Amino acid sequence: MRKIWKKVLIFLAITVVITTLVFIFINITPQPPVKKMELARESLSKAKINKADIYSKKLFNQAKSLYDSAMVNWERENKRFYFFRNYDKVSMFAELSVKKADQASENSISNSTNLKTNLKKKLDTLNNLVAEIDELFTTYPLTSEVRSRISKGKLLLEEAEIAYKKGQYLQANRKTTDSEYLLTASYDNASSNLKSYFKSYSTWKRWVERTISDSRKNNSYAIIIDKFSRKFFVYLSGVKKYEFDAELGKNWVGDKRVKGDKATPEGMYMITNKFEGSKTKYHKALLLNYPNEEDRVRFRSEIERGTLPRWAKIGGLIEIHGDGGKGVDWTEGCVALTDREIDIVYKIVSVGTPVTIIGSMVDLQNIMNR
């Protein structure tokens, strides 16, 4: 019996010793910072959800790099003997990773919110600019290069708005910046051209006043064609009686200089002949006395100055005719109305009826403030 108890006591003693040694081993062996690493992973995941990899890229990459450093140190320490392991660097990198990831999250939310707000303002501004370009220059004969840049700017603006609605603010911002460059430069170029054209406004105004005054004084018909607004006005005794849409030469801006330039002339003219039936290729036509004496003087002056070549011809056969209603400027320099409208005009006017063609009846400031 004593032997049995002796064995039991020995077993218990050995068990106590082993347990004590295990307890000591566990407590003196360095433990990896598992919870800190889990927290670092959670913080990085949260930062990614908040799109810190996009809107706070620098901080996010720093947080990720710190986490990677923690993992490298952890793996290195695990290869060492138990009692020689030291996870202090692992803990330090994990804590720094959490700090940077949290900063990245906050910074990302702030940056994306500010970017979204600023983008909305930019997009609204550019849409207003596009509306102004369309209002002023849709039918204005811009160069093919400027017209192409406007088209590209509009396309980029549409793409920017799509990206904005999807929450892709960086992509939207890039496209908005490119669109802004194209549209602003094109608008400035077109506006400069338009301002130069409207320097003749005082002359146009004088012609209009004289035409309406003569119509009132003579109790007669008179025609005024406003090229910028594409309007064809018929006055009787100084009062506007009819208003039609007009279609002009493809290069209507400015005065007609030479034959074949597809420009509609500007000046004070009169009807010299009326054609219908087989006498015209259009439904009906009213021939104007272009070139008049002022046109001839200007043409000769340009030849002498060398701004036109010696072989240039002044041209002629400028008419008000039918076949209009196409909605575009398509003539060789004439003024086109629909057949119904030319019927009305043809009936009431006669040879000698004044026809004044101007750039605009409204000054540029009022046009741009509409």
End residue of a domain, out of 148, 173, 198? 198
What pLDDT digit, counting tens, does each position of 226-252 carry? Answer: 999 999 999 999 999 999 999 999 989
Average pLDDT, the chain: 90
Mark whether 106 and 122 lie in a shared domain: no
The pLDDT value recorded for residue 3 is: 62
Mark whether 352 and 204 lie in a shared domain: yes
Mark whether 158 and 225 lie in a shared domain: no
Mark whether 88 and 147 lie in a shared domain: no
Q: Look at the chain and report how many structural domains it folds into.
A: 3
Mark whether 190 and 210 lie in a shared domain: no
End residue of a domain, out of 143, 175, 198? 198
CATH number of the domain within which 218 lies: 2.40.440.10
Query: Is the pLDDT reported for residue 41 higher than 70?
Result: yes
The pLDDT value recorded for residue 21 is: 47
Query: Which residue range is the domain that position 159 belongs to?
Result: 116-198
End residue of a domain, out of 110, 127, 142? 110
Mark whether 272 and 323 lie in a shared domain: yes
Mark whether 189 and 210 lie in a shared domain: no
Q: In the structure, what pLDDT confidence band is assigned to residue 306 with cuts at 50, 70 and 90?
A: confident
Q: In the structure, what pLDDT confidence band is assigned to residue 10 with cuts at 50, 70 and 90?
A: low
* Residue of 330, 353, 191, 346 lying closest to 269 (CA atoms): 353
Mark whether 210 and 336 lie in a shared domain: yes
